[in-house]
Amino acid sequence: MPLIETKDLVKKFDNFTAVKKINFHIQQGEIFGLLGPNGAGKTTTISMLSTLLKPSNGDAFISGHSVVEEPLLVRQIIGVVPQEIALYDDLTAEENLKFWGRMYRMSGKELTRQIEKVLEQIGLTDRKKDRVETYSGGMKRRLNIGVGLLHQPQLLFMDEPTVGIDPQSRRKILDTVIELNQQGLTVLYTTHYMEEAQELSHRVGIIDHGEMIAIGNQQELTEMVGEYDTMRLHIQAQEDGQQLAARLKEIPEIIEASTADHEIVIITPTAEDVLPTVINIANQLNIKIRSIDIQEPNLEAVFLHLTGRALRD
């Protein structure tokens, strides 16, 4: 039996459908990455799986328990790391952990021991007596994760846990996730960073406009794009992007060209061969290229291939 199984999960907000009949399952011990751009429906999906939002239609089962029918049983099994930091600023890290631990009916020595362990894991032991309001963004993020781990859940939902923090803290968080997974924790991890999904996940679901457009392990997904390379042109002026992308699309060897933040993402089977042509066109248009980056097939390419848009738009 899969640990998570969804059945035609739908969420409507008034007449806007945020999640459209999503079906997937996650096995015990997996790290499953839910990859999608802003507004794709990642948080909405996690909210339904964690019993916070009632599905408009369909159902999901956590360890066989319906999120609609048996929400209290589901909540015993799961831990949640919300996208927005949800802590009490006026309490210390230790007091926050104590409060959230007791919400899971932990107490006494067990609670104290778990608090110490988690503080160690998130590297906040020496700041545990300080109020959260005095913490940096990265420290708050780490504590936000710590609260989710405290009661040793079987399944952890992590909703973009690394947004807005420095590379070092980010690295630490990713390592923690991998370590916990090795100890047996199943993780559903949402992100819009292709690299994170790629590094962490055993399997990835790509979600866009509330639909699961692809699902599989990385090899399966990249095979959808074929043996294509991704080429990124970093350009000086954002405004030039559209014009250059339009011209590049006319080149037969270029499958896709799309603009993102100061970037043009190109999908092509032969990156080295088209490179001179690309530079030529840029020169003709008087567009300054600051750097060029060529990558083997990856999830970004998959997303671009499937949607015609770059992941970060």
Ligand X SMILES: Nc1ncnc2c1ncn2[C@@H]1O[C@H](COP(=O)(O)OP(=O)(O)OP(=O)(O)O)[C@@H](O)[C@H]1O
Restricted to residues 3-22, the positions that interact with ligand X (CB under 6 A) are 13, 16, 18
In the chain, what are the helix, strand and coil shares in percent, each to the nearest 5?
40, 25, 35
174 three-class SS: helix
Q: C-beta of 26: minimal distance to ligand X in Å?
A: 18
Based on DSSP, count helices (H) and strands (E) in the chain, helices before strands.
11, 15
Instruction: Read off the tokens for 226.
Output: 């074929």
Task: State how far the Cα of 260 lies from the Cα of 232, in Å rounded to an integer.
Answer: 10
Which window, 12-20, 92-100, 168-176, 237-245, contacts other proteins (CB under 8 A)?
Answer: 92-100
According to the binding rule CB under 6 A, does residue 39 interact with ligand X? yes
Q: Which residue is nearest to Mg ion (CB)?
A: 43
Contact window for ligand X (CB under 6 A) among 39-47, 66-74, 129-137, 146-154: 39-47
Q: How far apart are CA 154 and CA 160, in angstroms?
A: 19
The yes or no reply on residue 55 touching ligand X (CB under 6 A) is no
Is residue 232 within 8 A of residue 292, CB to CB? The reply is yes
| Residue 80 in the binding site for other proteins (CB under 8 A) | yes
Helix (H) or strand (E) holding 182: helix 167-182
Exposure string for 112-150, b = 16+ CB within 10 A, e = fewer: eebbeebbebbebeebbeeebeebeebbbbbbbbbbbbb
> Based on CB atoms, which residue is closest to ligand X, 46 or 97?
46
> Residue 127: which residues within 8 A CB-CB, separation 6 or more?
93, 135, 139
Distance of CA 289 to the CA centre of its chain: 30
| Cβ proximity to ligand X, 13 vs 99, nearer residue | 13
Site string for other proteins, 5-44 (x = CB under 8 A): ----------------------------------------
Q: How many residues in the shown chain lie near ligand X by CB under 6 A?
A: 13
- With CB cut-offs between 5 and 8 Å by kind, which of other proteins, Mg ion, ligand X, none does residue 51 bind? other proteins
Q: Does residue 76 belong to the site contacting other proteins (CB under 8 A)? A: yes
Q: Which of 40, 78, 194, 311 binds other proteins (CB under 8 A)?
A: 78
d(CA 254, CA 269): 8
Closest distance to other proteins from the beta carbon of 75 (Å) = 4
Q: By CB under 8 A, is residue 149 in contact with other proteins?
A: no
Neighbours of 75 (CB within 10 A): 19
Measured N-to-C along each axis, helices 137-149 and 167-182 cross at an angle, to the nearest 10 degrees, of 10
The residues binding Mg ion (CB under 5 A) are 42-43, 83
For ligand X, give the closer residue by CB, 38 or 280. 38
Q: Which stretches of the chain bind other proteins, using CB under 8 A?
A: 47, 50-52, 72, 75-76, 78, 80, 82, 84-88, 90-91, 95, 99-100, 102-105, 107, 147
Q: Which stretches of the chain bind ligand X, using CB under 6 A?
A: 13, 16, 18, 36, 38-44, 83, 192
